[in-house]
Structures are given as structure tokens and as C-alpha cells.
Amino acid sequence: MKNKQTYFHDILLRDHHIDVSCFDESFLHKSLQLRMEEIKCASIEEYNDLLKIRETERNKLLRSLQVGYRAFFRNTLTFAVMERLILPDIISAKKGSKEIRIWSAACAAGQEAYSLAMLLEEYINCKKNDICYRIFATDWDERNIRLAQKGGYHPDHLANISLKYLEKWFVQKGGHYAVKPELKKHIEFSVFDLLGRHSSPPESIFGEFDLVFCANLLFYYKAEYRKKIMNKLAEAMADNAYLIVGETEREILKAGNFKEVFPQSGVFKKQNNLPQGAQRNAQKTQ
């Protein structure tokens, strides 16, 4: 016999065309409980009755499942490794012959993509290197993409940005800060479902990404869907490309076809593309 939560899954799909089967059960249960507590529903049955008549609540439930929290330079260790080791390595390998291709695979309101662009612009200016790069930033929530394209942020969301970067790349407009057009010119924002049929954003044409960011997303999904996402990311990556995940997702990647190359930072490479020297260094740190 189905439990109440499984029954509710069926109701959501049948009556409201909302498929929640991909989500981790604990995350889904917590999301439902928070919604029910906020509107003071005593049972799943009562909540379902409310969903039938209140479109606003259906939308709020969907929003609660569309994980979209991001911050500029969210993980300080990861971005320090990015600035000092990863980007110089990628740029050195390119030798100015090809563009650097980056995918921010769950970009939310664009903070991650803009953080990467700031690091690249700083490196280009510092080294006086004529580097061509493109950042493809995607999210499955169209509202997030619109916010990212607009590039306007409340001061509370800019805590991790240095004063130098804030003055250089943002302009204050009323109570918000707006990203300057110069920082936007190498970024393409688009809606993309990581569980859909495409292996990479159609705008990128062929993938071949040198760096993929997919941080703090995998643990919201069931194991089989995590694997599907990881396979999709691996397919879109160029040889010897880097994959960045959240610190709490490191164990998920270790169980797959990836090898952590910088301890505790969530920085990985596809194991079959890892150079022998890097493999030995990584193994020493395990």
C-alpha cells in the first residue's frame, strides 16, 4: 500500500502536472512540510484540496522545489583554487588558439557566472593576455534566467565581492547594484533542463566545455537522477576539463567516473582523462 507522500506524488502528477519523482525523498518531504506549516495545513489531504483551488499555492510549491540559492564567490576555497590553479592551467593549455568554454549548469540568478567572468577579466587584465572566453549559464527556472540577464542585486547579496570588484564591475542604481554591460558581453543565459534530452545547452552547439560548474544541486535528486546528470555533464566536457561541485557533494562524485584533484575544494576531473602525474598527486591527498 502506498504511503501518504507517494500518494501525494501521484496526485501532483495527475491533477497538477507536477512531476516530483526525481527529487530526493528527504528534500521533498522537508519542502512539503515547510509549505504546509506556513499555510497551517494539518494533513497532506488537506494540502492537496488547497492545491486544487489555489494556483498561487501550486506556484509556491514549485518555487520551493526549484533550488535557486546562489551567492557571488560562494565557496571561498573553490574560487581561490579557481583563481590560482584552474584558470591558469586552462589558459596555458589553450595557448591562445581557442576560446575558453565554461558552463554554469545551475546558475540561479547569475551570481556564479558573473563571479567567473570577474576572475577571467582580472586574469586577462593582469597578464595582458588576449584571451577569448564564453560562459554559458543555464537554469531550469525561466524567472531565474530573467533575473540573471537583468543583473541587478540587493546590497545584501554582494557580501563576498571585494570593494575592488564592486567598484569596477557594478554601478549603483537606487537601492540595488547593476552589473556593467562589459561583464555581460561574454555570458549567454538560457533556460535548460539538466534532466532533458539535450546533452548540453543548444546555444553552445557542441559542448566541449573546459570547465563546468554544477555546485549544490546534485544532493537534491535521487541517486539515479544524480547519475543521469553526472553522465550528461561528463559528455559535455572536453578532455581534461574540470568539474566543480559543492563541498557536500564530493562523496557523490567520488562514486562516479570522476577524480578529485584538489582536496576539500569540490574540484574534479573525469578519471579517464586525468593525466598520470595529476592522478598520483590526487592519490597522495586521499
pLDDT at residue number 283: 38
Closest CA to 269 of 277, 256, 278, 258: 258
Max Cα–Cα distance, the chain, nearest Å: 66
Task: Name the packing angle between helices 4-16 and 44-53 (round to 10°).
Answer: 10
Query: Model pTM greater than 0.75?
Result: yes
CA angle 92, 94, 99 (to 5 degrees): 130
Please name the residue that has the C-alpha cell 583554487: 81
- Sequence-separated (6 or more) residues with CB below 8 Å from residue 216: 67, 69, 74, 106, 245, 246, 248, 249
Residue 195 in grid coordinates: 534532466
Q: What is the pLDDT of residue 206?
A: 83
**Residue pointed to by grid coordinates 554582494:** 158
Q: What is the pLDDT along the chain (286 residues), one digit of tens a residue?
A: 355 666 667 777 877 677 888 888 888 888 888 999 999 998 888 888 888 888 888 888 877 877 666 789 988 888 999 999 999 999 888 876 678 999 999 999 999 999 999 999 998 888 777 788 999 999 988 889 999 999 999 998 898 999 999 999 999 988 899 999 999 999 999 999 999 888 888 888 888 999 999 988 898 899 999 999 998 999 999 988 999 998 888 888 876 678 888 877 889 987 664 444 444 343 343 3
Residue 168: its H or E element: helix 163-169
Strand ordering across the sheet containing 170-173: 152-153, 176-179, 170-173
**What Å distances lie between residue 74 and 159, 201, 245, 246, 267, CA to CA?**
10, 24, 12, 10, 14
pLDDT the model gives residue 37? 93
pLDDT of residue 192: 94
